[in-house]
């Protein structure tokens, strides 16, 4: 397997240091929020595809994903239903690594999942060390209920942007709302600006 680098905060955090986004409360457990049944995606059949605005496709099977350099990182999670979980530890491949060979001038991305879930975000929010295809959580393989074998993780936005069972990312010149964005959730979803709904 390729090299593993660690980054991000990984020490102990004193309670006095905790600063939550507005309207959030702390939780210790890890709630499961899925809009449908958990797809059982076997790694032997898993495939991830980036499709550019010109229709060019870049594919990775499980072996190809796991051959890429992975990162261990620690981050906070903020769900629009108001729970936040701090200091979660993950392992995954940075989207920067996956996009290294992708030529695009698109501004927007639509992530899509096994099972049909979609969510949209600006492409720049997937780049610059801010997003991963995560396959490890808490030192173990990511559980199916939390999106295993692999999920998108974009922790600086509300957790609905972190598509579980991610299958691909489509790049677009024009923004297109995903599953929750299409029914009234905020198009961008920054927890620090409390962008929960359209009107926020
Ligand atoms: N494929 C898929 N991804 C998804 C969802 C979903 O229903 N399907 N729910 C989203 C929502 S609303 C949240 S809050 C998080 C929950 O992640 P968790 O179940 O690991 O806590 O996953 C997000 N990603
Ligand atoms: Mo959510």
Give the tens place of pLDDT for each residue, 114-130: 999 999 999 999 999 99
Average pLDDT on 184-199 reads: 97
161 lies in some domain: yes
Residue of the nearest CA to atom 24 in ligand 1? 163
180 lies in some domain: yes
What are the tens digits of pLDDT across the range 39-54?
A: 999 999 999 999 999 9
Ligand 2 centroid vs 161 CA: distance in angstroms? Answer: 8
User: Which residues form the domain of 71?
Assistant: 46-193
28 lies in some domain: no
Average of per-residue pLDDT values in the chain: 94
Residue of the nearest CA to atom 5 in ligand 1? 34
Name beta bridge partners: 4: 70
114 lies in some domain: yes
CATH of the domain at 59: 3.90.420.10
Residue of the nearest CA to atom 6 in ligand 1? 34
Number of domains in the chain: 1
Q: Is the pLDDT of residue 198 over 60?
A: yes
What pLDDT was estimated at residue 31? 96
Query: Which pTM was predicted?
Result: 0.93
81 lies in some domain: yes
12 lies in some domain: no
Ligand 1 centroid vs 152 CA: distance in angstroms? Answer: 10
Ligand closest to 31 (CA) is 1
Which atom of ligand 1 is found nearest the CA of 32? 19
What are the tens digits of pLDDT across the range 127-162?
A: 999 999 999 999 999 999 999 999 999 999 999 999
Query: What's the CA gap between 136 and 122, in Å, rounded?
Result: 25
153 lies in some domain: yes
What pLDDT was estimated at residue 18? 73
What pLDDT was estimated at residue 10? 45
Which atom of ligand 1 is found nearest the CA of 113? 1
What are the tens digits of pLDDT across the range 49-68?
A: 999 999 999 999 999 999 99
Query: What's the CA gap between 137 and 121, in Å, rounded?
Result: 23
The C-alpha torsion from 87 through 125 and 82 to 195, rounded to 10°, is 150
25 lies in some domain: no
């Amino acid at each position: 397997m390729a090299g593993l680098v660690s980054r991000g905060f990984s020490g102990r955090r004193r309670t006095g240091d905790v600063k939550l986004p507005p309207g959030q409360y702390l939780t210790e457990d890890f709630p499961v929020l899925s809009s449908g049944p958990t797809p059982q995606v076997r790694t032997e059949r898993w495939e991830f595809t980036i499709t550019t605005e010109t229709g060019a496709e870049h594919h990775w099977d499980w072996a190809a994903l796991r051959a890429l350099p992975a990162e261990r990182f620690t981050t906070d999670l903020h769900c629009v239903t108001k729970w936040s979980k701090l200091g979660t530890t993950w392992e995954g491949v940075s989207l920067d690594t996956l996009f290294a060979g992708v030529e695009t001038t698109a501004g927007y991305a639509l992530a899509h999942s096994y099972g049909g879930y979609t969510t949209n975000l600006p492409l720049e929010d997937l780049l610059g060390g801010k997003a991963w295809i995560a396959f490890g959580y808490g030192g173990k393989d990511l559980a199916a209920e939390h999106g295993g074998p692999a999920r998108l993780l974009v922790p600086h936005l509300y957790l609905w942007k972190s598509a579980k069972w991610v299958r691909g990312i489509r790049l677009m010149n024009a923004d297109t709302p995903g599953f929750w964005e299409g029914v009234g959730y905020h198009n961008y979803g920054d927890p620090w600006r409390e962008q929960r709904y359209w009107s926020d």
